[in-house]
Amino acid sequence: MKIAVVTGASSGMGRDFVYAIDKEFKLDEIWVIARREERLLELQDGCKAKIRPLAMDLLDESNYDVYKALLEKEKPEVKVLVNGAGFGLFGTFVEMDLKTQLDSIKLNSCALTAMCHITIPFMPKGSKIINLASNSSWQPVPYINVYGSSKAYVLNFSRALGVEIKKLGIHVMAVAPGWIQTEFFEHAVHDDTIKYYDRIYTSKEVIDKAMKDLAKNKKVSILGFPVRMQVLGVKFLPTDLIMKIWCKQQGK
């Protein structure tokens, strides 16, 4: 049985990746993971492959064992793993709830790591891993500090993992988009700490580019000239200057 596994599949990038993966790959099933089962069931109407909803909260580490046990029982070939689950908070670190910030790290970084470790033994040669990073992966980002730091981990982890498992014939790609109009903002924005958004892309635009880059075995997918220029600037400009420019944009 050939399958794909997508986390964060109930909304946003994860949800749209399900449709893109279904379109691009010939699969028997797509295992979709998120907390809201009713949202996962809705995916079947737009997919050719059978949708298997796994209503699990990846903040609960016991669900890693549930997922691993299912893989061991079914013994599928996981052709694609998409780690799309995650969330962030905009605000001042010391003023925001600690548990929520730690949960962001656990979901963005730790759960992604666990999903890779558990799934790779079931991935044959030619399989793909897509990890959702961010444009904030490239530099320290005040007022999006914890989120950006967790996504820097995703970017570096994905690059290093790609080297380690290249011998297995498994390709790893990080997707590092700029601002995307998804439900992410509903969770992240709770005040006016972040005021400036240079350009907002749609989830479909980011994923269309990601699927093209995946076909070319690129290691990082970046959509948009402005985002590419920011990444280039970060490579050559001092970190303090980058943070100063960002803070000025946000009126800090």
pTM comes to 0.92
Instruction: Reply yes or no on whether the pLDDT at 55 is more than 90.
Output: yes
Q: Please determine, for residue 225, whether its predicted confidence score (pLDDT) is greater than 90.
A: no
**100-106: Cβ within 8 A, 24+ apart:** 101/146, 103/59, 104/146, 104/147, 104/150, 105/146, 105/149, 105/150, 106/59
By CB atoms closer than 10 A (0-12, 13-18, 19+), residue 112 is: buried
CA pair distance 90, 250, nearest whole angstrom: 12
pLDDT in tens, 4-27: 999 999 988 999 999 999 999 999
Task: Give the pLDDT of residue 251.
Answer: 83
d(CA 68, CA 87): 24
User: What is the structure's pLDDT at 124?
Assistant: 98
pLDDT recorded at residue 211: 97
Tell me which residue of 152, 158, 150, 175 sits closest to 100, measured CA to CA: 150
Phi-psi sector, 53: left (phi>0), alpha (psi -120 to 50), beta: beta
pLDDT attached to residue 189? 53
**84-111: per-residue pLDDT in tens?**
999 988 899 999 999 999 999 999 999 9
Residue-wise pLDDT tens digits, 132-174: 999 999 999 999 999 999 999 999 999 999 999 999 999 999 9
111 contacts: CB under 8 Å, gap ≥ 6:
7, 58, 59, 83, 85
* Closest by Cα among 39, 222, 205 to 133: 222
Instruction: Name the most confidently modeled range: 67-71, 179-183, 227-231.
Output: 67-71
